Structure formats: structure tokens, C-alpha cells
Structure 1
Amino acid sequence: MDLLREFLLIYFAAVNLLAFALCGWDKWAAKRGARRVPERRLLLFCALGGSPAFLLGMALFHHKTRKPKFYVGVPLILVVQLALLVLAVRFL
């Protein structure tokens, strides 16, 4: 069980770091007219567990804050993930 916990901690740290970095990179690319990160990929990293860091990135970089897909979708993803976490902790 300790190995599983360690794996999950590393996984969530990595996916959150990547989600935050992608948010920052996409904002940087948007300012410079460079190639952007597809919205689908940004939302995928949120769905894979990176929603807390992506929300932080949205706030710090002022990025994707006008798109309902993000200012509604990312918090919604986070709420669903937290609910699943509570259920997993309670019943597993």
C-alpha cells in the first residue's frame, strides 16, 4: 500500500507541474504569436489530475479566464475530482 501511495503522490505532483507549465507556456506563446497548446490538451491535463495547478496558472498568468470552457470547466473538474477522492478515502 505504501508503494501505491508513493506512486500516486509522484503522479499527481508530475501532472500538476505539467499542467501549470502548459498554462504558462500557452500564455507565453499567445503573447508572441507562437504555436499554441491545443485547448483539448490543456483540458486533458486538468482531467488527469492537474486541475488545481491549472487553476493556479490561470490566476497567475491571467490565462484562459474569459473562456467558459476553462473558467467553468476547470473548477467543475476539480470539484468532481475532490468528490471522487472523498469517496475513495471513505470507502476504500
Structure 2
Amino acid sequence: MSLSFILLLYLLLWNLLVFITYGADKLKAKRGVWRISEKLLLIESYVLGGLGAYLAGLVFHHKTRKWYFRLAWYLGLLGDVIVIYLVWRI
């Protein structure tokens, strides 16, 4: 396996984890139980989890009204695109 493949795989797995985290928080919100902190959700989005967070927002309709979450998703998506571009050039 090449280094670029491994890096892209890690990026994909990280975004899957972010997607699952958002889904878990939405489920907890529906049940009215302890929630995942907004701080953690935002950090996950900023740290190359923009794709997973954005897709989770679309699928689960979670955190879509808060402008700062949408900003975090877009910045995270930008980071994802930059990393993919850089890895592609290796």
C-alpha cells in the first residue's frame, strides 16, 4: 500500500467517525439524554472532519440552524480538499 492510499483511508475513516458522532448526538437529543458537547462536535469538524459533519447535517438534519456549525463544516471541507489535493500530488 502506498502512503497516499493510507492517508486517504485515514481521512475517510476520520470522517466516518465524525458522521457517527453527529448521528449519536442527534439520537441522544431525540431521547433527551446526556449530549455530546458542541465543542467536541466543532473540533471534529475543524480537524479534517468537514465532509463527515456536512453529510451528517444533511442526513440527520442536526445542527443545521446554527451558523457556526455550518462555518465549521465548510472550513473542515476546505481542509479535506486541501489534504486530498496534497496527497494526490505525492
TM over 0.5: yes
> Are the structure 2 counterparts of residues 9 and 85 from structure 1 closer, same or farther at C-alpha, using a change threshold of 3 Å?
closer
What is the TM-score of this pair, normalised by structure 2? 0.81
* Runs of 4 or more consecutive aligned structure 1 residues displaced over 4 Å after TM superposition: 89-92
Relative to structure 1, the CA distance from residue 90 to residue 14 in structure 2 (aligned partners, 3 Å threshold; closer, same or farther) is closer
Equivalent residue letter for 1:6: F
Q: Does the C-alpha gap of structure 1 residues 8 and 90 become closer, same or farther in structure 2, counting only changes over 3 Å? A: closer
SS in 2 for 1:72: helix
RMSD: 2.2
The structural deviation recorded for 1:65 is 0.5
Amino acid at match of 1:27: K
Matched length: 90
Cα distance in 2, alignment partners of residues 90 and 6 from structure 1: 9
Aligned to 1:66: 65
Unaligned runs of 5+ in 2: none
1:36 aligns with 2:35: yes
Asked if 2 retains the 8 angstrom alpha-carbon contact of 1:58 and 1:65, the reply is yes
Aligned pairs for 1:12-91 (under 5 A) are 12-83=11-82, 85-86=84-85, 88=86
SS at match of 1:37: coil
Q: Distance in 2 between matches of 1:91 and 1:60?
A: 32
Q: Contact 1:57–1:63 at 8 Å: present in 2 too?
A: yes
Contact 1:20-1:54 at 8 Å conserved across structures:
yes
Q: Please tell me whether Structure 1 or Structure 2 has the larger radius of gyration of its CA atoms.
A: 1
